Structure 1
Amino acid sequence: MRVLVTGGTGVVGPEVVRRLLRRGHGVRLLSRHASDDRKAFEGDIEAFDGNIGDAASVRGAAEGCDAIVHLAAVVSERPPEVTFERVNVEGTRNIVAEAERARVLRFVYVSSLGADRGASGYHRSKKQGEEIARTFSREWIILRPGNVYGPGDEQISLLLKMARTLPVVPLVGKGDDPFQPIWCGDCGEAIAAAAERADLAGCELELAGAEVTTMSQVLDRFEAMTDRHPTRLPLPAWIESMGAKLAAKFGIEAPVNADQITMVTEGNVIPEGRENALDVLGVQATRLDEALGKLGDSLPERLPSEGVGPMHRKIYRAEIRGGRLDAEGLIALLRDEFPSLAPRETVVVGAEPEGPKRIAPGATLTMALPLRGHVQVRVEEVAPRAITLATLEGHPLAGAVRFLAEPAGDGAVCFEVQTWHRASTLADLLVMETLGGAIQTYTWTSLVETVVERSGGRAEKGVEVTRDDPDEREGNDFERWLEELILRRVRRDDAPAPAMAAG
């Protein structure tokens, strides 16, 4: 079966695509930048660049497809181009029209839990989308997932980042509004399964996790996970909503918008007497504690292109003579003993109760930084003479740290740390230009000095620190290289395990 997936990005989209591919289906991805988005996947996947809000640009997208999974939607508006009416309503109308033209057999519309009764603008638009989906002349299925959480979502992931980095965490009301979150992997599996089910034609199915919880209870779990205990600041919903509206009016990016706050207060729970369709679709719900643990190690990378201000590059270099370790030995030392090499005055590696303490491909390392709380980096590359770490969401920097070792002639070995970064936010830009820059220099200078000491050698010139900011072309080349490195790591992590040979 070939399946057209609209909006295969964000929190749910990649999970749906991966699970369709694992089930042996071909996927055609429809999004504005599908040619780039498809690079994150391996297998039988095609790209179709198009904007669902423009009927002409999606014509032909469903040609030769057996089913459509319509995920593309927006949860917040950026008028005049991005509105609920244009994307969630007219976009759905355009995709249904394309499905009719191409004579697609099955149309799976992904709505939202509460769309049939919610008052928020988002829920009203999804309800209109449901009405349009029901006009499809062949098989249609409506799925209503609850609050989907996973790497980069705008509620639970955001709460985790605040718990890790802020002294005070605001909560809507007392944080006691009930909701029933569903892990992105479970949601993706359910949607992929629904795309195969002819027996569900004409059904409206609600999907949610197995547990009803509150934001306050989720924060309890995050405090136990991180061993950090920020002060909780209850705010009436109307105050948070007013603040979000003012921020939008002045072009300030707020963590949530007024519509999302309305959705929180409406509740996001499967009503009593209705079935959780995970059972119908054969999906075992992931326990909340288990999924939150996964979330803790899976926040997305914060790439340099997502930062603010100019790109900076600093190099901390030592030429080591008389040591017992060659280039490969220095990198092995760093790989195996990184926590003991970093200065504890500025960096505590493995700051959370659980998590890897060793540098390994794909591992997420949590660190405690002064004035910042807990931040994370992910190991993107472990080579014989190089290690590359990328910063994750919540880190004050958007970029990467590289550790390199090379023979320098006459038995010497050159060891260096390179930092390539922009500040993550305007506030971080101010900090990095003052105290943050000094802390960064002390941290990496101290690490290089410790590596020299542990090598048994000496660096006659000490640690040489240079700031060598790249020009625009070199900066762009590095960004592309890092993005490709991350994509290769993601594709490798997603690859199915090799089959075991028969004994």
Structure 2
Amino acid sequence: MKVLVTGGTGVVGKAAVDQLLRAGHTVRLLSRHADDDARQWASGVEPRTGSVGSDQAVAGAADGCEAVLHVAGIVAENPPESTFQEVNVEGTRRLAHEARRAGVRRFVYVSSYGADRGESPYHRSKLAAEQVVRAEAPPGWLIVRPGNVYGPGDEVISLLLKLVRTLPAIPLIGLGDQPFQPVWMEDLGLALARAVERESPRETAVDVLGPDVTTMRGVIELLGGITQRSPVLVPVPEFMARMGTQALETVGIDFPVKEGQITMLKEGNVLPEGAVNGLTETFGVTPTPLGEGLGKLADALPEMLPSEGTGTLHRQRYWADIQGSRLSQEELFEVVRTEFYSLAPSGLLEVGAEPGSRTAMEEGATLTLEIPMRGHIQVRCVDVSDCTITMVTLQGHPLSGAIRFDVTQVAPGTLRFEVRSFTRSADLIDRIGMRTFGKVAQRATWRGVVSAAVDRSGGTAPAGVEEEETALHGKDAEDVENWVEEVVMRFRRGQSPEVGEGEGVKG
């Protein structure tokens, strides 16, 4: 069947789309940038440009669809453009009316655990949206209330992972002992796909949470074990946290909990003893233990493209023309690809900085690196072809961009090994840091890698290690951004599920 999905590019929505595709269904994706968003799936996803905030965009969106999965919503307001009332409540009303008009057989609304009792503005808006569904959605509707969802790019646990990897100290609300019950995104995605596919339960609300109760402190301790880092935990009184979150975000410092989420933490996010957990008891999903899910998350953070950074895009080139190499072009490339860890200069770059992390540059591999004063950062290998490797930085890196390694034959008997980086700072704080120590360390690192490759070749570089730095503007910067985005999207399509490739929602 064809399913209209809103919010399909977020953590929850993407997981649900993947599971629907695996089960053989097709998806119509409603989003503001649907044509671009749909490129990350190889097939089965039809783009529909628009948003739930527009009557015109929603009109006709469900034509030809048998079901609607409504995930889109906001957890923080940005008035006047984006408010809880307009997006969470009125957006749901628009979708409910459209689903009824189109005669869909199933309308699944993704609410939030605690919406029926929570006092935060977010929870109040989700409850109001639930009331809209009950009154105005077509018969057979279902409300799913997930607990805190974690997965690549989520706004809490992914951010905690970034902080554990990069900071010597992490702020906590109070003692960090507020309990919650997080659910792994793939488990929730499977539950939502089954909710869409099945006829029952109907016209009720189902709570869906993970198998383990934890706290912010507990999550940080688990992440510390995974990353082999032990940041100091700094308790922040609740009133100070409320005053400080907006100020911190204004100057570019991420805080692991937004202002409205402080209220939700106090309200509790744990199933009462004896209550039904729809994840297992309604949808029959085998839950992922928290420790296992965090281990998956550690290698699954999303790529951060050059277009997502701040400031000027810089291109840096470091290369050497090697004469008399004992290795062929292909052999030198294999040394770079499989033994990059041995080329990195000691004290400036450690490859494989976390237990079990990869060291060879294979397509799809995520490498964890340790950099002085920056902690652990990650890059993902998104393309290996024709003696060229392209790696892209992941969220949590001080830079957003791509690094390219090339081994080419520039003349008979002469090989060129080149490292080319296209980067801009990830945010304001990193922009300041990269202007000082970061830039010096980056230059020394890549010069060291090129010099080590010359030594491994057995040849010589009469001109030594050469370098060039250029600030890119206008079309030059746009061309690089488009190139990196296309490489990443091609990689994502290769990783995406094919329609009907498995039995994703059965059970």
Q: TM-score range by the shorter chain?
A: over 0.9
Question: Which secondary structure does the structure 1 equivalent of 2:163 belong to?
Answer: helix
Q: Deviations over 1:60-92 (max 9, x none)?
A: 100111110000000000000101000000100
- In structure 1, C-alpha distance between the alignment counterparts of 2:300 and 2:254, rounded to whole Å: 23
Residues 22 and 500, structure 2, Cα contact 8 Å, conserved in 1? no
1:4 corresponds to which residue?
4
More displaced stretch, 276-285 vs 455-464: 276-285
Greater relative contact order (CA < 8 Å, ≥ 6 in sequence): 2
The letter of the residue matching 2:207 is E
* Aligned with residue 391 of structure 1, among 390, 393, 397: 393
* Stretches of structure 2 lacking an aligned partner (at least 5 in a row): 503-507
2:146 corresponds to which residue?
145
More displaced stretch, 25-34 vs 463-472: 463-472
1:461 corresponds to 2:444: no
1:42 corresponds to which residue?
42
The letter of the residue matching 2:91 is G
Structure 1 pair 417–250 and aligned structure 2 pair: CA distance change class (3 A): closer
Q: 1:239, CA displacement in angstroms? A: 1.3
- In structure 1, C-alpha distance between the alignment counterparts of 2:107 and 2:498, rounded to whole Å: 28
Q: 1:497, CA displacement in angstroms? A: 12
Q: Deviations over 1:269-301 (max 9, x none)?
A: 122232111122121101111110000001111
1:418 corresponds to 2:420: yes
- Structure 1-normalised TM-score? 0.96
Question: Which secondary structure does the structure 2 equivalent of 1:278 belong to?
Answer: helix
Question: Which secondary structure does the structure 2 equivalent of 1:5 belong to?
Answer: strand
- In structure 2, C-alpha distance between the alignment counterparts of 1:164 and 1:418, rounded to whole Å: 25
2:177 corresponds to which residue?
176
1:110 corresponds to which residue?
110
Q: Deviations over 1:125-144 (max 9, x none)?
A: 00011101112231100100
Residues 21 and 498, structure 2, Cα contact 8 Å, conserved in 1? no
- In structure 2, C-alpha distance between the alignment counterparts of 1:498 and 1:370, rounded to whole Å: 46
Aligned pairs (5 A) from 1:164-203? 164-203=165-204
Q: 1:478, CA displacement in angstroms? A: 1.5
Aligned pairs (5 A) from 1:86-125? 86-125=86-125
Aligned pairs (5 A) from 1:55-70? 55-70=55-70
Structure 1 pair 245–324 and aligned structure 2 pair: CA distance change class (3 A): closer
Residues 385 and 404, structure 1, Cα contact 8 Å, conserved in 2? yes
Residues 164 and 228, structure 1, Cα contact 8 Å, conserved in 2? yes
Q: 1:253, CA displacement in angstroms? A: 7.0
Question: Which secondary structure does the structure 1 equivalent of 2:279 belong to?
Answer: coil
Q: 1:172, CA displacement in angstroms? A: 1.0
Residues 331 and 384, structure 1, Cα contact 8 Å, conserved in 2? no
Structure 1 pair 278–24 and aligned structure 2 pair: CA distance change class (3 A): same
The letter of the residue matching 1:299 is L
Question: Which secondary structure does the structure 1 equivalent of 2:200 belong to?
Answer: helix
Aligned pairs (5 A) from 1:87-486? 87-135=87-135, 136-246=137-247, 256-279=257-280, 280-486=282-488
Question: Which secondary structure does the structure 2 equivalent of 1:468 belong to?
Answer: strand
- In structure 2, C-alpha distance between the alignment counterparts of 1:206 and 1:35, rounded to whole Å: 33
Q: 1:430, CA displacement in angstroms? A: 1.6
Structure 1 pair 76–385 and aligned structure 2 pair: CA distance change class (3 A): same
Question: Which secondary structure does the structure 1 equivalent of 2:419 belong to?
Answer: strand
Residues 107 and 138, structure 2, Cα contact 8 Å, conserved in 1? no
Question: Which secondary structure does the structure 2 equivalent of 1:139 belong to?
Answer: coil
Question: Which secondary structure does the structure 1 equivalent of 2:356 belong to?
Answer: coil
Question: Which secondary structure does the structure 2 equivalent of 1:440 belong to?
Answer: helix
- In structure 2, C-alpha distance between the alignment counterparts of 1:371 and 1:248, rounded to whole Å: 22
* Stretches of structure 1 lacking an aligned partner (at least 5 in a row): none
The letter of the residue matching 2:75 is V
Structure 1 pair 351–28 and aligned structure 2 pair: CA distance change class (3 A): same
Q: 1:432, CA displacement in angstroms? A: 1.4
The letter of the residue matching 1:232 is L
Q: Deviations over 1:78-107 (max 9, x none)?
A: 000101000000100111111111111111
- In structure 2, C-alpha distance between the alignment counterparts of 1:80 and 1:274, rounded to whole Å: 39
Structure 1 pair 498–413 and aligned structure 2 pair: CA distance change class (3 A): farther
Structure 1 pair 252–402 and aligned structure 2 pair: CA distance change class (3 A): closer
- In structure 2, C-alpha distance between the alignment counterparts of 1:149 and 1:46, rounded to whole Å: 26
- Structure 2-normalised TM-score? 0.96
More displaced stretch, 258-267 vs 447-456: 258-267
The letter of the residue matching 2:325 is G
Q: 1:212, CA displacement in angstroms? A: 0.7
Residues 170 and 232, structure 2, Cα contact 8 Å, conserved in 1? yes
2:21 corresponds to which residue?
21
Residues 24 and 501, structure 2, Cα contact 8 Å, conserved in 1? no
- In structure 2, C-alpha distance between the alignment counterparts of 1:296 and 1:255, rounded to whole Å: 16
Question: Which secondary structure does the structure 1 equivalent of 2:141 belong to?
Answer: strand
Structure 1 pair 75–38 and aligned structure 2 pair: CA distance change class (3 A): same
Question: Which secondary structure does the structure 2 equivalent of 1:376 belong to?
Answer: strand
- In structure 2, C-alpha distance between the alignment counterparts of 1:447 and 1:216, rounded to whole Å: 39
The letter of the residue matching 1:461 is A
Q: 1:206, CA displacement in angstroms? A: 0.5
Q: Deviations over 1:357-381 (max 9, x none)?
A: 2111111111110111000100111
Q: 1:255, CA displacement in angstroms? A: 5.1
- In structure 1, C-alpha distance between the alignment counterparts of 2:276 and 2:448, rounded to whole Å: 58
- In structure 1, C-alpha distance between the alignment counterparts of 2:212 and 2:29, rounded to whole Å: 32
2:505 corresponds to which residue?
none
More displaced stretch, 478-487 vs 385-394: 478-487
Q: Deviations over 1:372-394 (max 9, x none)?
A: 10001001111131011111111
Question: Which secondary structure does the structure 2 equivalent of 1:199 belong to?
Answer: coil
The letter of the residue matching 1:146 is G
Q: 1:188, CA displacement in angstroms? A: 0.5
Structure 1 pair 357–497 and aligned structure 2 pair: CA distance change class (3 A): farther
Question: Which secondary structure does the structure 1 equivalent of 2:165 belong to?
Answer: helix
Structure 1 pair 250–158 and aligned structure 2 pair: CA distance change class (3 A): closer
Question: Which secondary structure does the structure 1 equivalent of 2:311 belong to?
Answer: strand
Q: 1:251, CA displacement in angstroms? A: 9.6
Identity of counterpart residues, as a percentage? Answer: 49
Residues 24 and 499, structure 2, Cα contact 8 Å, conserved in 1? no
The letter of the residue matching 2:494 is R
- In structure 2, C-alpha distance between the alignment counterparts of 1:470 and 1:378, rounded to whole Å: 23
